[in-house]
Structures are given as C-alpha cells and as structure tokens.
Amino acid sequence: MSVDNVTTVAPASPRRNWAVRGSALAVTAAAGVVLLAGPAAAHVSVQPQGEAAQGGYATVNFKVPNERDDASTVKLEINFPADHPLTSVMPQPVPGWDVQITKTKLDKPLESHGNKITEAVSKVTWTAKDKGVETGQFQQFPLSLGALPEDADQLVFKAIQTYDSKEVVRWIEEPTGGEEPDTPAPVLALTAASGDGHGAAADDKPAKPAASDDTGKASSEQAAESSSDSTARILAVVGILVGLAGVAFGVLSGRRRTTS
C-alpha cells in the first residue's frame, strides 16, 4: 500500500500577520502625512502685515514658493482687480529683483484727496536679475496698497509665476466657497473699518514698509509662516521614517519565522 505524500502548510503566525499589518499601516500613514504636508505652501499667496481694513492702507506680502526641483522662479506678475482700483500702489525694493508698475486708464475717474484719478495700477511685475527663487526656497514681495475698498470683504489678485525653464503657472482661479481650486488666486481678506470709518490708516497715509518700525511685527509673522512650512516638512520626513521602520520590522519578523 502506498501512501501519498501530504504537505502540511502551517498557518501564518499571528505575530507575522501583525508585523505585516503594522508595516502596511505605517506606510499608509507616512503617505498621508506627505500628502497633507505637500500643499502647505504650494501656491502664491498674499498676507497683510498687521491688518488690511476697509477704507484704509496696508502693507502686504505676496509669498512665492518654488515648486520645481529643476527650475527657479524668475518672474512674478500680480494683476489687480479692475472692479476695485487702488489709487496708491508702492513696491518695497526686493534685492536681486527689478520691479515694473503698469497703469491702465479708468473708465470712470476716481476722487482722492480732492484730486481726480484717471488711471490706476493694473499690474506689478517682478523680474529676477540673477537666479531668482531657487529650489526649496520662497520669496516675499511687499507692496503698500490703498485706499482699500469700503464695499468689499476681500480682494482677489491673479498671479502668474514664470520659471527659467519657460514654464508658466497661472494662479488665477477665484474662490467659489467650496473646495480650493487647483490653481487658486491670492486672496486678501479685508477687515471691517474702525469706528472712524477709515480703516487701519485713519489719516489716509500709506502704511510704512517692512523696513520701518513695523519690522519686528512683520518679521514675527514671516517667521510664523516659515515655522509652519518647516513643521509640515518635518512631519513628512517623520512619516516616511516611520513607514520604512514598519517595513523593516515586517521583513525581519518574516525571516525569523522562516528560520525557526
């Protein structure tokens, strides 16, 4: 009588199953951290130094991050909203960059301090003299703006970012109240005017540039933004390391089971 050879397959060790599951969860968590950290500072944005009050003046920073690993940002164009023309737009010098202001004739003249304004700034363009904003860096471009509109709660600026590879990214999609679009335009939120009805700068004078006594405040806000970006990057790195550790643990556990 012959007896057929029967191969018995031992059930998978619970320890090995937990190792595999743990490594898979770690990789998934790492990927989630990377996805969440990626958009933290991915597009051109605008933030005021202090507040931007309706009817007043404000100094704002347009923040431009470099999203490419093989190209530098060498040009930035900021287009101003035609429905809310501003009578005063003054750029603060940025080392290594040339700035050009473009004005457009208004369909309807404006009154400012008893003067009739027939044209307003429609675009400000910065062009790099040298390397521009390189990989892993960002640059801020300050402007003094006013008088801000009294009948709006935000201003939308359409931005065009150009790389030295000739790639052009148009940050021009306006917010709709739902999910953020793929290429959102910079939006400046306006706060309510103060009790005198003139906003933050009641004397109707442009806000001081960042190099003035407001430097400390501006620097702290910029540092806060930079800290937020750094935190996102650190979380991404930690997530990747945790994922790799989980994979290594799963492999080693499998090998130990096999040898035993």
Distance of CA 71 to the CA centre of its chain: 18
Asked if residue 168 belongs to a domain, the reply is yes
Share of the chain above pLDDT 90, in %: 47
- 252 compared with 180, residue with greater pLDDT: 180
In a domain, 125, yes or no: yes
Whether residue 144 lies inside any domain: the answer is: yes
Q: What is the predicted pLDDT for the residue at 88?
A: 92
Position 132 in a domain:
yes
- Has residue 215 got a pLDDT over 50? no
Does any domain span residue 50? yes
Task: Calculate the average pLDDT of the chain.
Answer: 75
- Separation CA 210–CA 58 (nearest Å): 11
What is the domain range of residue 77? 45-189
- Whether residue 124 is predicted with pLDDT greater than 50 in this model: the reply is yes
- Residue 234 falls within a domain, yes or no? no
CB contact set of 52 (below 8 Å; sequence gap of 6+)? 58, 60, 145, 148, 188, 189, 190, 191, 200
Of residues 97 and 115, more confidently modeled: 97
Stretch 70-80: mean pLDDT? 97
Which of 185, 206, 190 is CA-nearest to residue 59? 206
pLDDT at 6: 46
Domain of residue 77, CATH code: 2.60.40.2230
Give strand pairing partners of 180. Answer: none
Instruction: Please write the tens of the pLDDT for every residue from 16-66.
Output: 554 445 444 444 444 443 333 344 447 899 999 999 999 999 999 999 999
Would you state the pLDDT for residue 252? 52
Sign of the CA dihedral running 245, 249, 250, 254 = positive
Taking only the tens place, the pLDDT of each residue in 218-258 is 444 444 454 445 555 555 555 556 555 555 555 455 555 55
- For 134-166, the pLDDT digits (tens) are 999 999 999 999 999 999 999 999 999 999 999
Domains identified in the chain, total number: 1
- 181 occurs within a structural domain: yes
Output the pLDDT for position 178: 76
Q: Is residue 37 part of a domain?
A: no
Assigned token pair, 69: 């690993």
| The dihedral sign for the CA sequence 205, 206, 209, 215 | positive
Determine the pLDDT at residue 232. 52
Partners of 90 in the β-ladder: 144
